[in-house]
Amino acid sequence: MTGACGLDVVGLTAGYGDTCVIEDVTFTVPARGRVGVLGRNGVGKTTLLATLVGLTRRHAGRIWLGGNEITLMPTSRRARAGLGYVPQTRDVFRSLTVEENLRVGLKGRPVSALDEAYALFPRLYERRRHFASQLSGGEQQMLATARAILGQPSVLLLDEPLEGLAPVICDELMRSLDALSAKAGMTLVLVEQQIERALDFVETVMILDRGRIAWSGVAADLRRRDDVIETYLSIPHRH
């Protein structure tokens, strides 16, 4: 791995073309930390992650990865600097097999490194000869995540990894992410709509609303803040 490092973002304003989707976003993710980004649909969560990897138009602000400024780097250099990204769309290469998809992510590492991905997601080993287009949604998510971690990122950005997955697959995926974070020391930034699962996993949370950070704090505190949850996450009452 590139080495555990954190992420520092200051005054980030970005969007598509002249339109700003996120405005003046400032936050810090400590090395080995787990941060959840929550918020309703359309508040800019996906745009925030896409901006961190350089896929949107940045209007202002700066980004540091482990002390190195990556603000002006193109996407490929950010990835080589240690920023991993698993997009919401689970962009696996559909015409390649599972193993070929993983080999694309090796970036010069020996083929034996695939064992890391198979150890983390044993299901992928069973399906290694299948084309990515033949996988279920959960398996595609595992593949996209596994391919990202083969690049040995120090910080992994995950955009709604649980969307559309069966509960049992969600459990399997979250266990794997837990192992990544706890044992491999990877810093994780998780955008998620499943609030309860996200709060079980992350240590700190920031809530976006209309492209700005509306609330941030410790995950355990958010559980007690029904007013915040009701205002920004559209969950009237929790039991």
Partner 1 sequence: MAPIPGRPAASPRPGCRSRGVPGRELVAPTVVAILGALAYLAFPDDLAFFTRIIVAALFVMSLDLVVGYCGVATLGHAVLYGAGAYAAGILCVDGLTDPLLLIAAGSVAGVVAGLVTALVILRAHGLPQLVLSIAVVQLAYEAANKARDITGGSDGLSGISPGPVFGLFEFDLWGRTAYVLALVLLIATLVVLRRVVRSPFGLLCRGIKQDPDRIRAIGGTIYGNLVKMYALSGAVAGLAGGLTAVTTGVVGLDSVSFEWSAEALVMLVLGGAGTLYGALVGAVVFTGFEHYVAAVDPYHWLFVVGALLIGVVLALPAGLGSLAAWLRRLLPQGAP
Tell me the C-alpha distance between 184 and 1, whole Å. Answer: 8
Answer whether 164's CB lies under 8 Å from 141's CB. no
Angle at 178 between CA 172 and CA 179, to 5 degrees: 95
Helix (H, G, I), strand (E, B) or coil at 41: coil
Which one, 39 or 54, has the nearer CB to partner 1? 54
Which one, 12 or 149, has the nearer CB to partner 1? 149
What is the x/- site pattern for partner 1, positions 72-111, by CB under 8 A? --xxxx-xx---xx-x---x-xxxx--xxx-xxxxxx--x
Part in contact with partner 1 (CB under 8 A); list of ranges 27-35, 135-143, 146-154, 201-209: 146-154
| 114 contacts partner 1 (rule: CB under 8 A) | yes
SS3 content of the chain, % helix, strand, coil (to 5): 40, 30, 35
The CB-of-182 to partner 1 minimum distance in angstroms stands at 9
Part in contact with partner 1 (CB under 8 A); list of ranges 24-32, 35-43, 124-132, 208-216: 124-132
Nearest one of 42, 63, 62, 47 to 155, comparing CA atoms? 63
| 179 contacts partner 1 (rule: CB under 8 A) | yes
Which pair of structure tokens corresponds to residue 181? Answer: 């974070």
Tell me the C-alpha distance between 133 and 217, whole Å. Answer: 39
| 125 contacts partner 1 (rule: CB under 8 A) | yes
Tell me the C-alpha distance between 95 and 86, whole Å. Answer: 19
| 149 contacts partner 1 (rule: CB under 8 A) | yes
Binding stretches for partner 1 (CB under 8 A): 1, 53-55, 74-77, 79-80, 84-85, 87, 91, 93-96, 99-101, 103-108, 111-112, 114-116, 118-120, 122-123, 125, 128-129, 147-149, 151-152, 179-180, 183-184, 186
